[in-house]
Amino acid sequence: MANQRQYLEWHGQQWRVRVKVPAKVRDLIGRSKLTHPLHTADLKDANARKWPVVSRLKGVIAAAEKVQATNDPVEAEALRHRLTRDDEGTQYAVNLRAHELEETQGLHTAKAFFALASGQVTPLDHHADEFLKHQGYRMKSEGDFRRVLGWLGAWLRDSRLPVALEAVRRVDAGKFLSESLTVGRSRQKATAYLGFIRQYWTWLLEKGHLPSGENPWDGQKLPAERRPAREAETDKGKRPFTDEEIVKLLTGNGRPLLNDLMPVGALSGMRIEEICQLKVSDCRDGAFNVWAGKTDNARRTVPIHSGLTGIVKRRTAGKKDGDYLFDDLPPVPKSRETRSDPAAKQFTRYRRKMGVDERPNEKAKSNVDFHSFRRWFMRKARDVMLAGGAGFDEWTFAWVVGHTDNERSKSLDLSQHGYAGQDPEKAKRALVEAVKLPV
């Protein structure tokens, strides 16, 4: 019965919705709870009616939280007025404040303030939280959605347009694609980001948050990729580190975390998240046990290279089985699901500081990153294999690096592998030990 009465309270011979207001925004909203009558005395009927009302009241709370979160004082003031815009005194105050802003900060700022405070326009991200809850995206996709929405907001601001849902016309959507979204990004990534914006607008129209009409993103096509100019730098995309870059990175001072993380990446071929998820119990009997990763095939064992035994021994000493091997990473907040993010960002800063970077034609992302250790590992093992007498073959690569079945089928034929019938652990160790750090 308690669950049936969630968000409900009995009041005046009928049920009504009650949503508690968080303490941090009670002063803004002016009350400790928000209520709304459901006009029914039947509990079953009340439960059927309550959810749209709960969603709307939570929207009021979310709006108040946005007031506190914004770094723009004028926008924060407009949002505060918006919370109480049905009040006659508030409308007078909005008009008065708009005139003041016109004199001190110009007509553009005054018009933007009035439109937002009076409810004529809706902030670009006003319904973002509700949309994400509805979509149920994974955290990475949620981050991508918020990122592209931020880019759209910045473009609207730079274009002297309101950072509002109603401001995005079809012509503006097209300009954003050509002037911002596709600049410095691959066509594949830009297409994915466009998909998030299109889904957001589709949902807004379905839920009635925007007047019915055309979705400005439907039918939008990304500009055709231009042929590189004659003087443009050659861009071959993501690549392994060179031996010279490996030496530079491993001999520099990357501080304790990176000084251990980089050699593990270089001598195991593991992805950074796989390394950061390792626990003490996963580093026994001379092998790393990878339990989860990017693909189903990521679950595997990777022999611990002889060059890593010192790092593993030092980092497991005195720890419990459930402790992380790399325990110097912060706890994972609710806003993300990957443990390796801080390490990846720290590595990016260090890599750039050491002058290890490659961004032809000022592209947004470098052709080298932590994953380049994995690429270097595979290239070095391949070179040894092609030289003959290595004790492993292509099939062993799939066992060690955790390729997907699709990746295996592209390059492997089970009937033509000399080592497929021998002890796979012996072949795996032969592959790992074949990789030597440059000096």
In the predicted structure, residue 12 carries a pLDDT above the cut 90: no
State residue 415's pLDDT score.
37
In the predicted structure, residue 314 carries a pLDDT above the cut 90: yes
State residue 160's pLDDT score.
80
Q: Domain check: are 385 and 309 in the same one?
A: yes
In the predicted structure, residue 315 carries a pLDDT above the cut 90: yes
Bridge partners, 289 (sequence order):
301
User: Across 218-292, where does the E strand assignment appear?
Assistant: 287-290
The CATH number of residue 351's host domain is 1.10.443.10
Nearest to 367 by CA among 356, 379, 378, 377: 356
CA distance 59 to 53: 10
Q: Choose the weakest-confidence range: 75-84, 126-135, 325-334, 372-381.
A: 75-84
State residue 176's pLDDT score.
93
Residue 287 near residue 302, CB atoms below 8 Å: yes
In the predicted structure, residue 337 carries a pLDDT above the cut 80: no
Give the containing element (helix H, strand E) for 77.
helix 73-83
Confidence of residue 52 (pLDDT cuts 50, 70, 90): confident
What mean pLDDT, rounded, does the chain reach? 83
Q: Is residue 76 part of a domain?
A: yes
Q: Domain check: are 113 and 180 in the same one?
A: no
Q: Domain check: are 107 and 161 in the same one?
A: no
Q: Domain check: are 422 and 301 in the same one?
A: yes
In the predicted structure, residue 420 carries a pLDDT above the cut 60: no
Q: Is residue 231 part of a domain?
A: no
Residue that wins the pLDDT comparison between 87 and 127: 127
The domain total for the chain is 3
Residue that wins the pLDDT comparison between 146 and 112: 146
Q: Is residue 226 part of a domain?
A: no
Q: Domain check: are 279 and 405 in the same one?
A: yes
In the predicted structure, residue 375 carries a pLDDT above the cut 90: yes
Q: Domain check: are 272 and 392 in the same one?
A: yes
Q: Domain check: are 38 and 158 in the same one?
A: no
Q: Is residue 34 part of a domain?
A: yes
Q: Domain check: are 142 and 202 in the same one?
A: yes
Confidence of residue 414 (pLDDT cuts 50, 70, 90): very low
State residue 293's pLDDT score.
59
The arithmetic mean of pLDDT across residues 36-63, rounded, is 83
Q: Is residue 233 part of a domain?
A: no
Most confident of 59-68, 223-232, 363-372, 414-423: 363-372
Q: Is residue 211 part of a domain?
A: no
Q: Which pTM was predicted?
A: 0.59
Q: Domain check: are 269 and 344 in the same one?
A: yes
Residue that wins the pLDDT comparison between 153 and 417: 153
State residue 163's pLDDT score.
82
Domain C-terminal end among 206, 224, 251:
206
Q: Is residue 230 part of a domain?
A: no
Q: Domain check: are 374 and 347 in the same one?
A: yes
Nearest to 218 by CA among 235, 230, 228, 204: 204
State residue 248's pLDDT score.
97
Q: Domain check: are 63 and 179 in the same one?
A: no
In the predicted structure, residue 303 carries a pLDDT above the cut 60: yes
The arithmetic mean of pLDDT across residues 194-210, rounded, is 92
Residue 381 near residue 434, CB atoms below 8 Å: yes
Residue 250 near residue 437, CB atoms below 8 Å: yes
CA distance 279 to 339: 12
Q: Is residue 227 part of a domain?
A: no
Which residue range is the domain that position 136 belongs to?
128-206
In the predicted structure, residue 61 carries a pLDDT above the cut 90: no
Confidence of residue 247 (pLDDT cuts 50, 70, 90): very high
State residue 139's pLDDT score.
80
State residue 133's pLDDT score.
86
In the predicted structure, residue 416 carries a pLDDT above the cut 60: no
State residue 390's pLDDT score.
73
In the predicted structure, residue 371 carries a pLDDT above the cut 90: yes
Give the containing element (helix H, strand E) for 254.
none
The arithmetic mean of pLDDT across residues 280-296, rounded, is 84
What is Dmax (Cα atoms) for the chain? 87
The arithmetic mean of pLDDT across residues 147-162, rounded, is 88
The arithmetic mean of pLDDT across residues 59-82, rounded, is 68
Q: Domain check: are 287 and 397 in the same one?
A: yes
